[in-house]
Copies of this chain bind each other. A is one copy, B any other.
Amino acid sequence: MTAASRTALLTDKYELTMVSAALRDGTADRPTTFEVFARRLPDGRRYGVLAGTGRLLEALADFTFDDAALETLADFLDPATQEYLQNFRFRGDIDGYSEGELYFPGSPVLSVTGTFAECCVLETLVLSIFNYDTAVASAAARMVSAAAGRPLIEMGSRRTHEQAAVAAARSAYLAGFTGTSNLAAHHRYGIPALGTSAHAFTMLHTTAEGGPDDWEQAAFRAQVAALGVGTTLLVDTYDVRCGVANAIAAAGTGLAAVRIDSGDLGVLARQVRDQLDGLGAVNTRIVVSGDLDEYAIAALRADPVDTYGVGTSVVTGSGAPTASMVYKLVEVDGIPVQKRSSRKESHGGRKAALRLTRPSGVITEEVVHPFGAAPPTDEPARVLTTPLVRNGEVLAGPDLSAARDLVAAGLHSLPWEGLALSSGKPAIPTRQGCG
């Protein structure tokens, strides 16, 4: 493990000062459970898609303090706390929803059980991962649903922090995107890497002689020579009609695809389809991109679009860049606890959850109950809470493919109004506290 990959300093200072105070007064070893949940979904959203569990379980192994970190911490921590952190490794238990599971307000998506000190220090890392990854997956799932089976490519790396981009590609893929432009995500997670071409490549072929038509032809010929007719040619650098003609002239009617990145995408897609068909390129697909979000994707449903390229909106959670999850102490030494701050109520006690389902497979209610005491129910129910870590050991490695299947099944299980893109209430209610 290298210093760069350690995750223990991705932490708020107050977690370590609280550990210091707790070590001093003897409460650091009290058995506790912290719970991760969202008090509400982003405005008008009807469901969320949990993501980040796999990344958290990987980051947990690297949550140790090296000498350089300890030296920094020595400026404000007492020796006893430094010594505690020097030997730190999380040795508790973690339970939670599987990655890719739907969630609703109050769903106990993760619970972390151990001593106060070892649970307390994980707060920031857990929330950073869950809040970002879940924000992206939740937005991406709406786009997948809006695309109604057409493939989506995640190409938003440039619109978010360079490492967040890798996580975004992972979350979008998990939610049902076909692939990503991001090479680090391909390298790290095996997500299909996809790509087309940029306006810069066409403009690179500018010369003092000739005009845009010549330059574009030269660029297209070069791209096809290097990458074959299976490539996608970007046809809107100068004029879309000329671009399409030049594309087929360069690649022939076997060209895999053309991309349109500007203008009224619906109008252009129809014109380009007609033009391609007229040229005999009936199998050449049309990729569209340019400020697409779930609404724009849905609005293009009737148009001859084959693939959507999505950037800004998916990596920024399409208006909800964080999932607003919180990490709250819910149990101390067997006693359920909760704070009473105004408008920030939480429910005490370690919990688990199950989801009631009609025989048709449509879900009807989320039932949150005390851990280890599932309520009797006549309806078919699926257990949502599963063990993830025991005594600090991760029970099963992340499985992106299983998470992807779970998202697909989750979207399929929503009541019909749950998939509406318009603002509304959560698709199913969450019942709290029945034992």
**Residues on A facing B (Cβ under 8 Å):** 2, 4-5, 7, 9-18, 20-25, 27, 30, 32, 34, 59, 68-69, 72-73, 76, 78, 116, 120, 123-125, 127-129, 131-133, 155, 157-167, 181-184, 186-187, 193-208, 212, 218, 221-223, 225-227, 231, 236-239, 261-264, 312, 315-317, 321-322, 324, 327-329, 332-333, 335, 337-344
Contact = CB atoms under 8 A, between A and B. Distances in A.
B225 A24 contact: yes
Contacts of A201: 18, 21-22, 120
A166 B82 CA distance: 22
A28 to B, nearest CB: 9
Taking each of A13, A324, A338, which has the highest tally of chain B beta carbons within 10 Å of its own beta carbon?
A: A13
A128 B161 contact: yes
A128 B165 contact: yes
B21 A222 contact: yes
A200 B328 CA distance: 7
Nearest to A190: B72
A204 B28 CA distance: 9
Given A164-B132, A184-B9, A262-B343, A195 B14 contact: yes
A216 to B, nearest CB: 10
A161 B163 contact: yes
A237 B324 CA distance: 19
A339 B203 contact: yes
- What 6 pairs across the A-B complex have the smallest Cβ distances? A13-B195, A14-B195, A127-B158, A161-B164, A21-B226, A25-B222
Contacts of A25: 218, 221-222, 225-226
B238 A339 contact: yes
Contacts of A315: 322
Nearest to A119: B200
Contact of A195 (B4, B17, B262): B17
Given A78-B226, A161-B132, A182-B12, A263 B329 contact: no
21 contacts: A7-B162, A9-B187, A10-B166, A10-B184, A12-B155, A12-B182, A18-B223, A21-B223, A21-B226, A23-B226, A69-B187, A123-B200, A132-B161, A133-B161, A159-B322, A160-B161, A160-B164, A200-B328, A203-B332, A203-B337, A237-B341
A5 B6 CA distance: 12
A182 B9 CA distance: 8
Contact of A199 (B186, B203, B329): B329
B162 A59 contact: yes
A160 B321 contact: yes
Given A27-B222, A335-B206, A263 B161 contact: no
Contact of A196 (B14, B158, B236): B14
